[in-house]
């Protein structure tokens, strides 16, 4: 299972999952005894920037972080500047890093459109009012840099990656791309083709259709559900592009790509003051919409068990996707849930594929704070797959895991989770340590509106290290076995019917 990576994501039979009417409450990170201890040192300080009169420092976040933790060590290099228009510039200084990532993230809300977000940012990556396409391409090539766009379930982003020494020469291009993208006919044609192709990839396979349909059904008509419904329908994407045209895309940029949706994050060996000064006349002058922020968080959405289906292919095999609601991202349970999914991933592969041969592949996906997914391809008998998935979940909820030293070799492959939990903690921790050395991963993790929320990614490592086998079994029982699940089957076969 790949952790902390965003993914563009039916009721399961009662004999497999036990449904419950609502999600259980979760423990808040700040309520732990260790987190309430005083911290050593202070967080990054406010930066005084010419042309940026209003600045703020990182709040006293260290007051809720244990001394000597991974979180406290990283926060010492974190600083924040607030532009006059309300855009936060969050900088994680990474001494010695030879590369830097600058990320402009527009957070989704109920009034944003993922296709138009993508159109605007794709256009921005091609050209802007001050920098035509030829200049952008030659400058990026000469600086060994890249400028691209991406779309996540809750946001859309423009991202600049470059060697640290070349960043000063590129910030003008980046800032102008955000403030004044090109919307001429040729730029729009290229951007439209790129966006249509990217969305088509997400929905171009049976599993992609199953994922989008499951998440659309799970989240309903809110921000997340609506975005997934669009992502899963290439025809709807094409219709939005055609209707918008260059003029509509320009109007959307002016009215919706505003300061109140934007978070600017930078990770690398950079000077925060110099970065803020270079962007003050572009990013710092983006207009605010004047509307109150619209919460796009999925935490308030309560899943209801459901079964949906979408067309498959002519192979006679099915693809399945199970959407499971995750604990809120600012809770200890969110990190324990991720650890549990790592154990479940191995259990599922062993029980459903290796031992039973019920599918070609099976894996677990995770979007922290939103959902987990069980993705299955090449299944001749979806009913049997769902039963086997339930068996694996029951094993983990009862405190069993694959390959435990406590498992009797003669009659069982599964034994006490406590015997192998340290190996899973180490595997997941290593992944976080590696991602923590990547400017792109850090810039992505920091792209949250509220300062306290930006601790989530860093705190996860400390919480994973502290999780016990009992914690894992409890979280599986509450958030997987005891919670509503949405299954989608992509199949042209009658075998997709409910058991």
Neighbours of 348 (CB within 10 A): 27
Three-state DSSP class for residue 258: coil
Range with the lowest mean pLDDT among 176-185, 307-316, 424-433, 487-496? Answer: 487-496
The architecture CATH gives domain 306-496: 2-Layer Sandwich (3.30)
pLDDT band at 117 (very low <50, low <70, confident <90, very high): very high
- Model pLDDT for residues 60-104, shown as the tens digit of each residue: 444 445 555 666 667 778 888 899 999 999 999 999 999 999 999
Under a CB-based contact definition with an 8 Å cutoff, are residues 353 and 47 in contact?
no
- Model pLDDT for residues 353-403, shown as the tens digit of each residue: 999 999 999 999 998 878 899 999 999 999 999 999 999 999 999 999 997
pTM > 0.75: yes or no: yes
The pLDDT, as a whole number, for residue 225 is 64
Range with the lowest mean pLDDT among 311-320, 358-367, 418-427? Answer: 311-320
Question: Is the confidence at residue 203, as pLDDT, over 80?
Answer: no
- Rounded-to-integer distance, Cα 490 and Cα 367, Å: 22
pLDDT band at 436 (very low <50, low <70, confident <90, very high): confident
pLDDT band at 451 (very low <50, low <70, confident <90, very high): confident
- CA nearest 194: which of 124, 260, 250, 134? 124
Range with the lowest mean pLDDT among 72-81, 220-229, 426-435? Answer: 220-229
Residues 6+ apart with CB under 8 A from 337: 326, 327, 366, 372, 475, 479
Per-position DSSP letters for 70-94, written without gaps between them? HHHHHHTTEEEEE-TTS-EEEEEE-
| Residue extent(s) of CATH 3.30.830.10 domains in the chain | 62-285, 306-496
Torsion sign across C-alpha atoms 387, 388, 391, 397: negative
Percentage of residues of the chain with pLDDT beyond 90: 51
* E strand or H helix at 332: helix 332-348
Q: Can you name the CATH fold of 62-285?
A: Cytochrome Bc1 Complex; Chain A, domain 1 (3.30.830)
The pLDDT, as a whole number, for residue 297 is 52
Under a CB-based contact definition with an 8 Å cutoff, are residues 297 and 219 in contact?
no
- Rounded-to-integer distance, Cα 88 and Cα 447, Å: 10
Average pLDDT of every residue of the chain: 80
Q: Encoding tokens for residue 79?
A: 């600083």
């Amino acid at each position: 299972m790949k952790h902390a990576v965003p993914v563009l994501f039916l009721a399961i039979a009662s004999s497999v999952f036990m449904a419950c009417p609502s999600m259980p409450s979760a423990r808040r990170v700040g309520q732990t005894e260790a987190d309430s201890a005083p911290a050593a040192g202070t967080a990054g300080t406010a930066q005084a920037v010419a042309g940026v009169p209003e600045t703020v420092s990182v709040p006293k976040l260290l007051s809720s972080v244990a001394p000597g933790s991974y979180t406290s060590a990283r926060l010492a290099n974190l600083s924040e500047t607030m532009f006059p228009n309300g855009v936060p510039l969050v900088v994680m200084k990474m001494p010695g890093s030879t590369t830097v990532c600058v990320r402009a993230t527009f957070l989704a809300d109920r009034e944003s459109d993922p296709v138009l977000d993508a159109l605007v940012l794709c256009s921005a990556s091609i050209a802007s009012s001050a920098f035509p396409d030829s200049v952008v391409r030659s400058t990026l090539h000469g600086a060994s840099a890249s400028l691209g766009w991406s779309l996540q379930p809750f946001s859309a982003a423009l991202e600049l990656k470059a060697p640290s020494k070349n960043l000063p020469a590129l910030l003008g291009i980046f800032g102008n791309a955000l403030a004044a993208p090109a919307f001429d006919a040729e730029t729009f044609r290229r951007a439209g083709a790129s966006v249509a192709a990217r969305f088509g990839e997400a929905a171009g396979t049976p599993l992609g259709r199953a994922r989008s349909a499951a998440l659309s059904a799970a989240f309903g008509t809110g921000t997340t559900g609506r975005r997934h419904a669009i992502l899963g329908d290439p025809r709807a994407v094409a219709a939005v592009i055609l209707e918008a045209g260059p003029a509509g895309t320009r109007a959307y940029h002016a009215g919706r790509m505003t300061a109140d949706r934007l978070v600017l994050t930078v990770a690398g060996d950079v000077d925060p003051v110099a970065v803020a000064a270079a962007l003050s006349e572009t990013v710092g002058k983006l207009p605010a919409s004047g509307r109150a922020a619209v919460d796009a968080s999925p935490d308030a959405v309560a899943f209801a068990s459901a079964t949906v289906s979408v067309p498959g292919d002519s192979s006679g095999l099915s693809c399945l996707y199970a959407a499971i609601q995750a604990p809120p991202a600012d809770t200890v349970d969110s990190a324990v849930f991720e650890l549990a999914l790592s154990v479940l991933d191995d259990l599922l592969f062993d029980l459903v594929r290796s031992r039973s041969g019920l599918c070609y592949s099976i894996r677990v996906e995770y979007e922290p704070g939103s959902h987990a997914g069980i993705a299955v391809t090449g299944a001749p008998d979806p009913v049997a797959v769902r039963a086997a998935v339930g068996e694996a979940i029951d094993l983990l909820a009862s405190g069993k895991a694959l390959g435990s030293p406590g498992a009797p070799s003669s009659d069982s492959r599964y034994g006490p989770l406590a015997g192998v939990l340290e190996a899973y903690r180490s595997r997941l921790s290593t992944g976080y340590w590696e991602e923590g050395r990547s400017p792109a991963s850090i810039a992505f993790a920091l792209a949250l509106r509220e300062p306290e929320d930006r601790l989530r990614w860093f705190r996860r490592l400390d919480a994973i290290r502290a999780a016990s086998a009992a914690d894992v079994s409890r979280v599986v029982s509450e958030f997987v076995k005891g919670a509503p699940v949405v299954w989608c089957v992509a199949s042209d076969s009658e075998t997709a019917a409910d058991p």
